[in-house]
Amino acid sequence: MLPLKALHTNSLNRILFFKAGTLIGVPAYFFVAHFLLIFFKTPDIPPTASQEPYRLSAEETALLKEGDIIMRRGHGFVSSVINELFQTGYNLSHCAFVAEENGRPMVIHTVSSELSGVDGMQMESLEKFVEESVRGTILAVRLKKAAGEAALPVMYARQFLARRIPFDDKFDLADTTKLYCTELIYLSYLKAFKKDLFTSRFQTDHPNFLSLSALLDTTLFEVVINHQAAPLPAL
């Protein structure tokens, strides 16, 4: 895969645009997307279909561990914007932590109320998360840490869940009072390991934004499940 700097730079060049002679960047673009979502009230849920629901196999579900990150492409306008905005080479628009609750596989993530009816931090079943994904887009990765360490960030994600942290519709890492999906991963890692694992973003023009491409860095993550057409290439 391309180095993160190249991924970020290429993505940024694609989405910058002019309005009234002013160059507008990532946060403003998301603001426009958020406004359009509210205006047109386009749901980010899969349409009713006659085909069988999208599922992980029992073997794939058994592979997942607490602390893994599961990514997907969602249905709807916002998911399309994110997928086109930050082209990673994969169909991706959202991410979540895998967690276990009373023996059940769950996910912890943060979503705008305009998409889910609940604003910000929430927990739902892994089954529901996969079912609401575009078929064939699930991709799960695991942080390359010693056994047990990769699950530590979920403890902090649970704390954010308990505090009902709202969704960050400004997509700003500098503001930790609200969280967007990759910001949840970033801040949970920061608190668990006392170290910023995503410093490559400082080489870009938008250091306070973390795109999904950061979770595809094979120096940090190993692939657990990949439903997409091609395997993640090594750096």
- 53 pLDDT band, cuts 50/70/90, is very high
At residue 181, the pLDDT reads: 96
Q: What are 151-208's pLDDT values in tens digits?
A: 999 999 999 999 999 999 999 999 999 999 999 999 999 999 999 999 988 888 888 8
Tokens of 20: 């009234």
Backbone φ and ψ for 195, nearest 5 degrees, come out as: -155, 140
Round to whole Å and give the CA distance between 10 and 183: 21
* Cα atoms in the 13 Å half-sphere on the side-chain side of 197: 25
4-45+65-226: CATH class: alpha beta
User: Comparing 62 with 5, which gets the higher pLDDT?
Assistant: 62
Residue in the block written with tokens 């609200």:
178
Instruction: Give the per-residue pLDDT at 123.
Output: 98
Q: How confident is the model at residue 83 (pLDDT cuts 50, 70, 90)?
A: confident
SS (H, E, C) 56-117: CCHHHHHHCCCCCEEEECECCHHHHHHHHHCCCCCCCCEEEEEEEECCEEEEEEEECHHHHC
Pairing of strands 22-24, 120-125: unpaired
**φ and ψ at 98, to 5 degrees?**
-80, 135
pLDDT above 70: percentage of residues in the chain: 76
pLDDT at 10 > cutoff 80: no
Q: Which of residues 233 and 57 earns the better pLDDT score?
A: 57
Residue 12: per-residue pLDDT: 35
Say whether 121 sits in a helix, a strand or coil.
strand
pTM, 2 dp: 0.81
> Across the beta sheet with 139-143, what order do the strands follow?
120-125, 104-111, 94-101, 69-72, 139-143, 221-226
Structure-block tokens of residue 169: 């519709």
Residue 7 has pLDDT above 70, yes or no: no
8/203 Cα distance (integer angstroms): 9
CA distance 80 to 91: 9
CA distances from 144 to 67, 92, 138, 218 (A): 11, 21, 20, 9
